[in-house]
Structure 1
Amino acid sequence: MDFRALKTFEACVRLGHFLKAAEELQYAPSTVTLQIQRLEDDLGVSLFVRDGKRMIVTEAGRWLHHEASALLKSIGAMRQTISDIASGDSGSVRFAAIEPVASQQLAAVIADFCKARPNVELSMEVSGSRSIGERVRSGELEFGVCSVPPVKLMLEFEPLFEERLGVMLNRNHPLAQQDSITVRDLAGQTILVKEPTCVYRELWETAFNPTGHSCREVGSFYVIQQMVKAEFGIGIVPIYSGLEQEGSLVIRPIADLNPVITIGIAYKEKNFLGKAALLLMEAIRTSVPPVLLQIPGEGSGSSHCI
């Protein structure tokens, strides 16, 4: 059954005249007549009967018109959806990001993207870098914002910025009065760190080799934040002003070490990604600001842009 013939038939019934259908479809009248004849031959029934100068729709024609109208409407919706997916105005995106990058850097970007493209089904998960890399490789996620994935995963990686570890302190803590913290200052302190699979925990252990320090493992930066606020220990966290709380918490850089980690976008191949995912990746690239880090020893008025 020819799609064009169905479209012509629907127009003939809806407009009540072959000539009007020809004008709407921009066909020659003879083309309309030929398409209707071929459709009738294909179906083996008459769809119209002539009554003088009028063409009356048969019972079979009325049933076909009802079905054809629904079919043409469905095909039109399919065409529009495919067009929207191709332009990035529809479709789905599933990605993940590590914390606190997700809340501190990406939340506003995602909100703006969803407002601009409300028909895109977007799912953002918060997870660890290892899990993100493995799930991007398996195809569960389109991309991830994380640290550099292992070479064995064979993923593309675009660096966005570098983060440096700092020390989160209650403002009442004696060390909070210092512009920066040294490794020696940490002796005897109760140190709150993330779980072993967290890249920030790995960076802490690699850079400091914290033998002899009293470490408490906490699975959430928010919980670390609340525990420091309750004056129980100090936290090892990436330096984000958003993690500080005015009047209660501060984050100080570490003066004698420079523990940094590169954060970027990990994905398999751009050919595997839909337009909406590519647009979101570009929004993240252009909207995520570089991190302003205080350089130890340069005074409170100096900062460095990474």
Structure 2
Amino acid sequence: MNDRWLRYFNEVYRSGTMRGAADTLGVEASVISRQIQQLEDHLGVKLFDRKGRGIAPTDVAAMLHDFCRERRASEENLLAAIADANAVQTGFVRVVVGEGFLDTVQRAVLDHFCRDYPGVDVHVDLAGAVEALRMIGEDEAHIGIGLNPPAHPSVTFVATCPQPLCVLAAPDHPLARARGEIRLSQVARHRIALMTEGFGLRKLVELAMFSEGVALPPAFTSNSIAMLKRYAAAGLGVTFMSTVAAADEIASGALVAKKAHNPIFKGATATLFTRRHRVLPPSARRLLDVLLSTAFPANGSRRGPP
């Protein structure tokens, strides 16, 4: 099987249409179709079935996709092992994180790893928990960090760290001056900013709402943690996140963090994860060790809101 067949196949498998694959690869759809046909002829099996306007992969296609993923990971490991055997500190490592953990990752990556291993190329992507799990499960990234990610059959949770959610508000907001832990029924009286669907933070808020039977329709929605913090700091309403995600704003006095009464918020955790059974290349293994020692210490302390 030549590499072009497999490259086109993987893009068709990912996009679900010949046209989508063609647009991504910058070629005509007919070129994609011919290459897939040649691959099917070579294997003697059908890889895709027509389904409405798109196509559906067959069981054999799923097997081939797994093979391609394993081959890509094996090739990467081989190249890294060769480099490691020659004591050359080079390589490439990709990390996918939720925006709320960006400062934590920056400290680990920039202050420690990049300084100690200048020959290693590092790529950091921002993504919600669901997308981060997909990227790790499909070997598009080596290491992931997310807030309470759901279980995934292809992903191993390496470490967790308590990261309770609190209510964030401007200093002059009524909830910032409230005594004791804040209940969702109190929050419901005010305008609220929430993350969009697909993020671990949004899922936790929805679970908390369900547990208390309280509806919190957002007045402002964004896929950016920074936008939620700006919204709250402007006094327009409140939002939910950890003190780690809003550390700078809390330290400067732009935001006040109040403990939330809900047990789901109190039990929130940051999770470090990798693909199950994947042997990470040396550079990724070393960065994982750095993250474990700096961001996920076994006996690390944390400071909660007042």
**Same fold, TM-score > 0.5, yes or no:** yes
Range class of TM-score, shorter chain = 0.5 to 0.7
Which residue is 2:139 aligned to? 139
Cα separation, partners in 2 of 1:189 and 1:242, compared to 1, 3 Å? same
Calculate the aligned-residue CA RMSD, in Å: 2.7
Identity, in percent, stands at 18
Query: Deviations for 1:105-145, whole angstroms, at most 9, x for unmatched residues?
Result: 11111012001000001111111111111111111111211
Query: Deviations for 1:234-275, whole angstroms, at most 9, x for unmatched residues?
Result: 111123233425232111111354423332222124653110
1:1-306 aligned within 5 A: 82-84=82-84, 87=87, 89-103=89-103, 105-111=104-110, 112-147=112-147, 150-178=150-178, 179-209=180-210, 211-215=214-218, 216-240=220-244, 241-244=247-250, 246-259=252-265, 260-269=267-276, 271-288=278-295, 290=300, 292-294=302-304
1:294 partner letter: G
Residue 204 of structure 2 contacts residue 264 of structure 2 at CA under 8 Å; is this kept in 1?
A: no
Query: Alpha-carbon deviation of 1:166?
Result: 0.9
Cα separation, partners in 2 of 1:269 and 1:183, compared to 1, 3 Å? closer
Residue 114 of structure 1 contacts residue 120 of structure 1 at CA under 8 Å; is this kept in 2?
A: yes
d(CA) in 1 for partners of 2:203 and 2:85? Answer: 40
Cα separation, partners in 2 of 1:211 and 1:243, compared to 1, 3 Å? same
d(CA) in 2 for partners of 1:88 and 1:175? Answer: 55
d(CA) in 1 for partners of 2:119 and 2:201? Answer: 35
d(CA) in 2 for partners of 1:147 and 1:229? Answer: 22
Cα separation, partners in 2 of 1:138 and 1:225, compared to 1, 3 Å? same
Gaps of 5+ in 1: 1-78, 301-306
Gaps of 5+ in 2: 1-78
Give TM-score scaled by structure 2 length: 0.64
Query: Alpha-carbon deviation of 1:180?
Result: 3.0
Give TM-score scaled by structure 1 length: 0.64
Residue 188 of structure 2 contacts residue 216 of structure 2 at CA under 8 Å; is this kept in 1?
A: yes
d(CA) in 2 for partners of 1:198 and 1:136? Answer: 16
d(CA) in 1 for partners of 2:286 and 2:80? Answer: 19
Residue 81 of structure 1 contacts residue 90 of structure 1 at CA under 8 Å; is this kept in 2?
A: no
Residue 80 of structure 2 contacts residue 91 of structure 2 at CA under 8 Å; is this kept in 1?
A: no
Query: Deviations for 1:16-72, whole angstroms, at most 9, x for unmatched residues?
Result: xxxxxxxxxxxxxxxxxxxxxxxxxxxxxxxxxxxxxxxxxxxxxxxxxxxxxxxxx
The number of aligned residues is 217
